[in-house]
């Protein structure tokens, strides 16, 4: 089976428009063109990450290029930083003006200077065989030479733009549309520089701006949350109107998944149920869909562990990984008591069906699975002749199951996905391989963890110098990455494989943060039991984070009782350890 990668570039031609944005692009282009006598104005194309802002803007640009009285310029704000963005944007606009217009603008600037300076400037402009780029550089130097020149820049640009717009036979005037993309990915300094260029210097007749951004990211709780009231008021003036890009319809997304799968060579592996699952769980986000499909192609081609398994099993495993990340972590973690979360879920589903329907008589197989499921979680088997007790028993059972199971049981596409995966040959062996460390070689998309990052440059400082972290886990090799990060930041990380070793450390040093697993060997609550003893005896009263692959309501309740945190997310673990360590060190310095 051969696969090809899908690119993540914006759509630039109508033929490549897989989501039907062409109609909106044509209407926006018409609106911009018909409003050219109302310039200057700024239109925001508003949508979240990966939802198609750039593609829509490129299609609008393509429509505008068909009109002889309209010129378009594209500026990616993410390519500039800080003050450079102001210069870069203004120069991008100037580059679209005619050379004769630029020369006359330089001559006008020269006439306003002293006689000697004017003579030199006029002579230089007349003598130099400058192209448009050279004239733009020279004009920028003249416009930004000193504070006086900068104060007059807007008037100069207004005059220049008016001359350009009205210098042709087209009525009522020419239009220059400036597309600014990725503004919401920039730093606050760059955002303000771009907005300064748009509103202070380029807010002149003949120019219209189309800015692609997530308006919420530029709001008071986003990138610009530290702006002064005056700065916030200035930002409110930037956009005259917004077009909120609607999410594609379910049918459009499913058609998009089909087309992407066809282009990548994946189509024969995706039945209608899997297509619907991808469409629903990807939040109808085109970029996530592409990355998921690309991830499968890379995974199947590069990871040798998949060579033993059918592609149908591989794609279902990857869909679990990327569409149901919490369940996938639980599946990989496993423990001696519950080694296979997929089988555990399917058994729970059948037990739930029995225990929630006391008026129905279960068949022998369903009853046997129900008894096994209940007993396997440390509860007394249900009395078959007292169905009134089944409901409360189900509630107690769910206290010992992973927290997401009840909601997942109500998700028919998830149920089908797990059923199909576990019905395949070698499914149990596939799960074992994953649990033994056959990790994926690619990361398709970060989902809800994409905003939690660690800046590697921080490793050059040691904010945790003098801190002592105790990590209790019978498999410490699983934690080497986070332990190494903490040590790089100056902390001393003590490793203990069980409670006895941990107590030796607790007796020798003042521990600022305790990190622990929960299950060890056959003891499913070993970490919680040890902390209970240490709290009761006063041996350790500091902050605790349990890092495990299985979170149940019972475990959450015990953690609240013990004043501890619990997580199965490595990204959340990083956030918790950083905040708790900083607080512990602050408390230590105050002692």
What is the domain-level CATH number for residue 546?
A: 3.40.50.2300
Considering the domain architecture, whether residues 130 and 40 belong to the same structural domain is answered as no
What confidence category does residue 573 fall into, taking pLDDT thresholds of 50, 70 and 90?
Answer: very high
Kindly state whether residues 396 and 329 are assigned to the same domain. yes
Is residue 376 predicted with pLDDT exceeding 90?
Answer: yes
Q: Examine the domain organization and report whether 231 and 126 are in the same domain.
A: no
Residues 471 and 406 in one domain: no
Count of C-beta atoms within a 10 Å radius of residue 487 = 15
Nearby residues of 210 by Cβ (< 8 Å), 6 or more positions away: 28, 32, 42, 43, 44, 45, 57, 60, 177, 178, 179, 180
pLDDT on residue 149: 66
Burial 123-158 (b: 16+ CB within 10 A, else e): eebeeeebeeeebbebbeebbeeeeebeeebbebbb
pLDDT in tens, 299-343: 777 877 777 888 888 888 888 988 898 899 899 887 778 889 999
Evaluate whether residue 259 is within a structural domain. no
Average pLDDT, the chain: 83
Q: Which structural domain, as residue segments, surrounds residue 366?
A: 303-443
Are residues 181 and 151 part of one domain?
no
The rounded percent of the chain whose pLDDT value lies above 70 is: 88
Per DSSP, helices labelled H in 356-404 are 364-376, 390-399
Of the residues 213, 228, 247, the one at which a domain ends: 247
The arrangement of strands across the sheet holding 41-46 comes to 70-76, 175-181, 207-213, 41-46, 241-244
Write out pLDDT tens, residues 485-541.
999 899 999 999 999 999 999 999 999 999 999 998 888 899 999 999 999 999 999
Residue 154 lies inside a defined structural domain of this protein: yes
Q: Which two tokens stand for residue 483?
A: 């332990």
Spell out the residues 6+ positions from residue 46 whose beta carbon is closer than 8 angstroms to its own. 53, 213, 214, 215, 242, 243, 244, 245
Last residue within a domain, chosen from 117, 149, 166: 166
Q: Quick one: which of 277, 259, 269 has its CA closest to 296?
A: 269
Residue 38 has pLDDT above 60, yes or no: yes
Say if residue 70 is in the same domain as residue 178: yes
Whether 583 and 523 map to the same domain: the answer is yes
- 116-136 average pLDDT score: 56
What's the Cα-to-Cα distance from 49 to each of 52, 276, 288, 324, rounded to whole Å?
A: 8, 21, 10, 20
Q: Would residue 451 count as lying in a domain?
A: no
CATH assignment at residue 73 = 3.40.50.300
CA distance 340 to 352: 18
**C-alpha to C-alpha distance for 301 and 295, rounded to whole angstroms:** 10
Q: Are residues 344 and 408 both part of a single domain?
A: yes
- Last-in-domain residue among 443, 478, 511: 443
Rg (CA), the chain: 31
Tell me the β-bridge partners of 186: none
- Rounded to 5 degrees, what angle do the CA atoms 172, 160, 200 make? 100
The pLDDT value recorded for residue 1 is 64
Measured between its terminal Cα atoms, the distance across the chain in Å is 65
Indicate whether 515 belongs to any domain.
yes
SS3 211: strand
134 and 199 assigned to the same domain? no
Q: pLDDT-based confidence at 168, cuts 50/70/90? A: low
Phi/psi at 476 (5° precision)? -65, -20
Q: Which residue, 298, 311, 270, is CA-closest to 4?
A: 298
Q: Tell me, what's the pLDDT at 535? A: 96
Is residue 133 located within the same domain as residue 179?
Answer: no
Among 141-155, 299-313, 542-556, the range scoring the smallest mean pLDDT is: 141-155
Decide if pLDDT at 29 tops 80. yes
Q: How many separate domains does the chain show?
A: 4
How many beta carbons lie within 10 A of that of residue 106, not counting itself?
21
Does residue 289 surpass a pLDDT of 80? yes
d(CA 150, CA 353): 74
238-254 burial, b at 16+ Cβ within 10 Å, e below that, comes to bbeeebebebbeeebbb
- What does DSSP assign to residue 200? I
Q: Determine, yes or no, domain membership for 473.
A: yes
Q: Is residue 448 part of a domain?
A: no
Mean pLDDT of 252-270: 86
Give CA–CA dist 560/583, Å, rounded.
19
435 and 355 both lie in a single domain: yes
Rounded distance between C-alpha atoms, residue 156 and residue 403, angstroms:
64
| Domain shared by 509 and 571, yes or no | yes
Cis previous bond, 40, omega within 30: yes
Q: How far is it, in rounded angstroms, from Cα 253 to Cα 475? A: 43
Q: How far apart are CA 446 and CA 287, in angstroms?
A: 12
């Amino acid at each position: 089976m051969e696969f090809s990668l899908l690119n993540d570039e914006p759509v630039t031609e109508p033929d490549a428009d897989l989501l039907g944005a062409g109609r909106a692009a044509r209407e926006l282009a018409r609106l911009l063109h018909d409003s050219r006598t109302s310039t200057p104005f700024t239109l925001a194309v508003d949508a979240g990450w990966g939802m198609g802002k750039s593609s829509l803007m490129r299609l609008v640009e393509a429509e505008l290029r068909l009109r002889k009285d309209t010129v378009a310029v594209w500026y990616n704000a993410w390519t500039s930083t800080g003050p450079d963005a102001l210069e870069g944007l203004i120069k991008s606009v100037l580059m679209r003006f005619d050379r004769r217009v630029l020369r006359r603008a330089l001559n006008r600037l020269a006439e306003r200077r002293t006689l000697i300076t004017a003579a030199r400037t006029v002579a230089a402009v007349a003598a130099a065989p400058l192209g448009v780029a050279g004239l733009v550089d020279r004009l920028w130097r003249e416009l930004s030479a000193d504070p006086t020149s900068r104060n007059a820049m807007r008037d100069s640009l207004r005059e220049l733009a008016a001359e350009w717009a009205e210098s042709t036979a087209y009525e009522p005037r020419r239009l220059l549309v400036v597309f600014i993309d990725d503004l919401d990915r920039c730093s606050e300094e760059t955002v303000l520089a771009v907005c300064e260029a748009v509103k202070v210097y380029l807010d002149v007749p003949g120019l219209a701006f189309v800015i692609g951004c997530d308006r919420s990211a530029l709001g008071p709780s986003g990138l610009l949350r530290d702006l002064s009231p005056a700065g916030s008021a200035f930002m409110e003036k930037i956009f005259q109107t917004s077009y909120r890009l609607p999410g594609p319809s379910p049918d459009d997304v499913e058609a998009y998944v089909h087309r992407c799968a066809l282009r990548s060579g994946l189509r024969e592996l995706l039945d209608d149920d899997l297509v619907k699952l991808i469409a629903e769980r990807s939040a109808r986000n085109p970029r996530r869909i592409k990355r998921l499909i690309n991830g499968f192609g890379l995974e199947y081609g590069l990871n040798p562990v998949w060579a033993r398994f059918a592609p149908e099993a591989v794609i279902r495993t990857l869909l679990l990984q990327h569409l149901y990340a919490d369940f996938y972590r639980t599946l990989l973690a496993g423990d001696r008591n519950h080694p296979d979360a997929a089988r555990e879920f399917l058994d729970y589903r059948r037990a739930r069906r029995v225990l929630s329907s006391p008026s129905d008589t279960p068949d022998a197989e369903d009853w046997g699975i129900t008894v096994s499921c209940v007993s396997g979680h440390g509860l007394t088997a249900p009395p078959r002749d007292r169905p009134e007790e089944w409901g409360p028993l189900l509630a107690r059972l769910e206290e010992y199951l992973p927290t997401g199971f009840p909601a997942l049981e109500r998700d028919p596409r998830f149920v089908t996905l797990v059923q199909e995966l576990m019905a395949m040959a070698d499914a149990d062996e596939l799960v074992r391989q994953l649990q033994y460390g056959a990790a994926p070689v690619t990361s398709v998309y970060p989902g809800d963890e994409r905003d939690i990052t660690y800046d590697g440059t921080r490793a050059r400082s040691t904010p945790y110098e003098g801190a002592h972290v105790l990590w209790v886990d019978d498999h410490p090799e699983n934690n080497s990455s986070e332990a190494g990060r903490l040590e790089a930041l100056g902390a001393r990380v003590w490793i203990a494989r069980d409670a006895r070793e941990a107590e030796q450390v607790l007796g020798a040093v003042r521990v600022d943060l305790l990190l622990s697993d929960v299950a060890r060997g056959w003891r499913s609550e070993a970490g919680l039991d040890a902390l209970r003893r240490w709290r009761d005896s006063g041996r350790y009263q500091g902050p605790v984070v349990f890092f495990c692959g299985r979170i149940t309501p019972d475990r959450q309740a015990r953690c609240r009782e013990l004043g501890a945190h619990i997580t199965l997310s490595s990204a959340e673990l990083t956030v918790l350890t950083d905040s708790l360590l900083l607080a512990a060190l602050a408390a230590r310095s105050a002692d």
